[in-house]
Amino acid sequence: MNMHRRVPTLVALVLASVSAAPLLAQGTSVLPIADVKTRSAVQREIARAESKGLPTQPLVAKAMEGVTKQATGEQIRDAVSSLAKRLEQARALLAPSPSAAEVASGADALRAGVPAPMVKKIRAAWPADQSVVMPLDVMTELVARGIPASRALERLTSLMAKGATPSQIAALGSSVQSDVAAGLAPDAALEVRARGVMSLLNSPAAGASLAPTGQRPPR
Amino acid sequence: MSDERDLLIARVRETLRADPAAAPEPRAVAQVLQAVWQSPRPSLWQRAVEAWRGAAVTPARATGLAAVALLLGFVTRGVVVEPAAPAVAARPAGSSAFPAQRVADVADGLVQTQFVYDGKAESVSLVGDFNDWQGGVTPLDRLETGVWTVTVPLPPGRHVYAFLIDGTLVVADPRAPKSGDADYGQEGSVVMVFAR
């Protein structure tokens, strides 16, 4: 009799443990969010993402960012919920099998204002067996610097089609970032840097011929 | 070397701006900048060869050459152990040449990246998407110059970060561009990490 009474309790405990395991693994049970309502909402959002196979680390980071910045509970809930939607959208855009890092980069691109079809185009323009994190991150950075998304996409996909490496793509983003910080107009910075990379891709020998000779050219 | 190139690029840019009559074609500007960017710096070995080339062989030089040969012998035998050098040498506080961050080297796909905060504080820690914005996890060290710094391994890509001052105040890196992402009404800073 006693055994019969204990069975449902044991089953409930096992089920609770199983359902809590992913959260414990993610460390969400120790999310330092004082507001119980917010903490529960964030944990539910993370559990939902987990069940969908979405990366949960970005959600934890977004919640923690809110805690560190002393945001209100409502702000944290909204930010985490919005990010969860972007992660799901990004995963669909980067199908068939994007990595967690690619999904997170895609979500960041969407947040920065990169239109969804452009995220898809970047994936299509990059070799399927290579991580598309860097092209997506550079696209995000270019748009964040104030370059129209259509212009940034045009330049990036041109470089990709010519076989630009991840390092060359990253150097483009970094150089444009520095140029804009130095006062150059974003459009002009992209134009100059993209042409520089393109000239290397068009003619590998051109780089060598442009190497300084140590002599001052005639004026 | 990156600083030198940046300085050179800045000079090229200033020269072009100062002489509007020149009005170079954008492609020409790109080629000049790219050439500066791509131009290899002579290696230590090349400079040493240049220094020796054409010089008369004196007893002192011969002794020096012998010493170098002996040292190379020790190195190849594994007797000499090179001490690990710091990623970036400390510079005086307030120096305009002090970088906000710098890519140092790559290991296991991660890039050692330095962060610098130059301001008054009792404690400073780095918070960002790479450490789940957890304050205190990545503290900065205070140098004798008063500058705070830390070097952390980061995966290549775009990272958003900020400094947490005295455990409560979140400030963006004044030397880095803003993230443009203000979910909480406060932008972070951006660093593009990649292996050169």
Inspect the interface and report whether the beta carbons of A200 and B38 lie closer than 8 Å: yes
Cα angle: B6, vertex A181, A188; to 5 degrees:
90
Mean pLDDT of chain A: 84
Inspect the interface and report whether the beta carbons of B38 and A212 lie closer than 8 Å: no
What pLDDT was estimated at residue B65? 52
Model pLDDT for residues B45-86, shown as the tens digit of each residue: 455 445 545 455 566 665 655 565 545 444 444 333 333 333
Inspect the interface and report whether the beta carbons of A82 and B29 lie closer than 8 Å: no
What pLDDT was estimated at residue B109? 83
At position B17, the amino acid (one-letter code) is R
B180 touching chain A per CB within 8 A: yes
Contacts of B181 in chain A (CB under 8 A): 108, 111-112, 144
What pLDDT was estimated at residue B53? 52
What pLDDT was estimated at residue A10? 47
B40 touching chain A per CB within 8 A: yes
Nearest neighbour of A65 by CB, restricted to B35, B158, B184: B184
What pLDDT was estimated at residue B125? 97
What pLDDT was estimated at residue B181? 73
Model pLDDT for residues A4-36, shown as the tens digit of each residue: 555 554 444 444 344 444 444 444 556 888 889
Looking at chain B, how many residues does it have? 196
> If you average pLDDT over residues B167-186, what whole number do you get?
89
Lowest mean pLDDT among A90-104, B46-60, B70-84, B163-177: B70-84
What angle do helix axes A73-93 and A57-68 make, rounded to 10 degrees? 150
**Interface confidence (ipTM) of the complex:** 0.79
CA distance A173 to A142: 7
Model pLDDT for residues A106-152, shown as the tens digit of each residue: 999 999 999 999 999 999 999 999 999 999 999 999 999 999 999 99
pLDDT band at B107 (very low <50, low <70, confident <90, very high): low
Distances (CA, A) of B14 to A216, A218, B9, B18: 18, 20, 9, 6
Task: Pick the residue from chain B with its C-alpha nearest to A110.
Answer: B181
Mean pLDDT of chain B: 67
pLDDT band at A189 (very low <50, low <70, confident <90, very high): very high
- Give one DSSP letter per residue of chain A, joined into a string: -HHHHHHHHHHHHHHHHHHHHHHHHHTGGG-----HHHHHHHHHHHHHHHHTT---HHHHHHHHHHHHTT--HHHHHHHHHHHHHHHHHHHHHT-S---HHHHHHHHHHHHHT--HHHHHHHHHHS-TTS--HHHHHHHHHHHHTT--HHHHHHHHHHHHHTT--HHHHHHHHHHHHHHHHTT--HHHHHHHHHHHHHHHHH-HHHHHHTS--SSPPP-
What pLDDT was estimated at residue B21? 43
**Residue pairs between chains A and B whose CB atoms are closer than 8 Å:** 129
Quote the distance between the C-alpha of residue A86 and its chain's center: 10
What pLDDT was estimated at residue B36? 42
What pLDDT was estimated at residue A6? 55
